[in-house]
Amino acid sequence: MKRVIVTGHLGFIASAFCERFGQTYEISGIDFAGWGSMLENLMPGVRDFRADIADRDAVDRIVEQTRPDAIVNFAAESHVDRSNEDDSCFWRSNVLGARNLALAASKRGIRMVHVSTDEVYGDATSASEPWIESMAFRPKNPYAVTKAAAEMLLAVYAKGRTELDLVLTRGANTVGPRQFPEKAIPKAVWCFTHGVPFPLFRTPARRMWLHVADHVAGIEAALRKGQRGEAYNIAPMADCEAVTETVIERVRDLVGRGDIQKVEDRDHYDLRYWMDASKAKLALGWQAVHGLEDTLSSTVRWYLDHPAWLEAAHAKVSPAGPGG
């Protein structure tokens, strides 16, 4: 496997994938430079295509032109709060876009890795065991519904006449460099460095905080070793589970100043995501290596060291809505 199409390469996680694996693969990126993207995130050596994956002709043209051995689909509308306000573009990018890529991949008999999320499982507050891959989907917000819908459609393509060579990954809540400051940690760093109180949802929510380097290593392992039709949970070490308040307080310590202000919870607020990644460890030989403190301190350091990036990204974010 040599040539790979990576969608959403101007966004957070896909840019980390391009940075880490740009020497391993010849990468062509497809991104429509929408919400979450930064032109500064383009990694050296990546062939940069500007297109909407919901446009089937555009997808076919790029696949025809670049003749990839695989497609890794990161492109998505990814913010829960915005999906609560209007989910129409989430259906377009997250479901129709995934469909177009899947049809292009199956037509050419190439592998598609579809990057999904732990949010498809719903809320684990009352669960006695962490989620495993065979559990039923119970998505609780419009973003998660579109991610679950895409997975279900692609799984049908993998079993039916289209015979899609599909591998699914379900990543945990991810943090690291180049994340849009509508999400908790970059938003907190921006608030604390600008004397603005960080708006924290009143009810504590538990999250597994996954370093983006671990996430992209899991996705790449799935690309190489994933079994056709299988899904893999990509979760961090057990000690990486923590409530948002603890994490935001640690970010404040690392920044050295700042205030936190409690605000009303968002609509459709999941209080716990909880995954077991044993299957990925056994089948892919992958496991997370970053602990919580290492993940938080290296992430905060990156934003403090890249104030121009954070300022430019913040300028693109709407002023409304708390992070988290």
Active site residue 81: no
**Options 119, 182, 220, 270, the catalytic residue:** 119
**Angle in degrees, CA 41, 44, 50, rounded to 5:** 60
Chosen residue from 4, 70, 76, 95 binding ligand NAD by CB under 6 A: 76
63 interacts with ligand NAD by CB under 6 A: no
Query: Which residues partner with 234 through β-bridges?
Result: 171
Contact 239, 176 (CB under 8 A): no
Sign of the torsion angle spanned by Cα atoms 216, 170, 50, 157? positive
36 interacts with ligand NAD by CB under 6 A: yes
Measure CA of the first residue to CA of the last residue in the chain; give whole Å.
37
**Angle in degrees, CA 207, 208, 214, rounded to 5:** 145
Residue 148 has a CB neighbour count (10 Å cut-off) of 21
Query: Which residues, numbered 79-138, are part of the site for ligand NAD (CB under 6 A)?
Result: 93, 97, 115, 117
173 interacts with ligand NAD by CB under 6 A: yes
309 interacts with ligand NAD by CB under 6 A: no
Active site residue 303: no
Measured from the CB atom, the residue of 52 and 220 that comes closer to ligand NAD is 52
13 interacts with ligand NAD by CB under 6 A: yes
Measured from the CB atom, the residue of 83 and 106 that comes closer to ligand NAD is 83
Contact 164, 110 (CB under 8 A): no
With the CA atoms of 32, 35, 36 and 41 taken in that order, what torsion angle do they form, in degrees rounded to the nearest 10? 40
Chosen residue from 52, 214, 220, 270 binding ligand NAD by CB under 6 A: 52
Q: How far is the CB of 127 from ligand NAD (least distance, A)?
A: 19
Measured from the CB atom, the residue of 28 and 174 that comes closer to ligand NAD is 174
Active site residue 143: yes
Phi, psi of 303, deg, nearest 5: -70, -35
DSSP 165: E
Query: Which residues, numbered 135-154, are part of the site for ligand NAD (CB under 6 A)?
Result: 147
Point out which residues bind ligand NAD (CB under 6 A): 7-8, 10-14, 30-34, 36-37, 52-54, 74-78, 93, 97, 115, 117, 147, 171, 173-174, 180
Q: Which residues are catalytic?
A: 118-119, 143
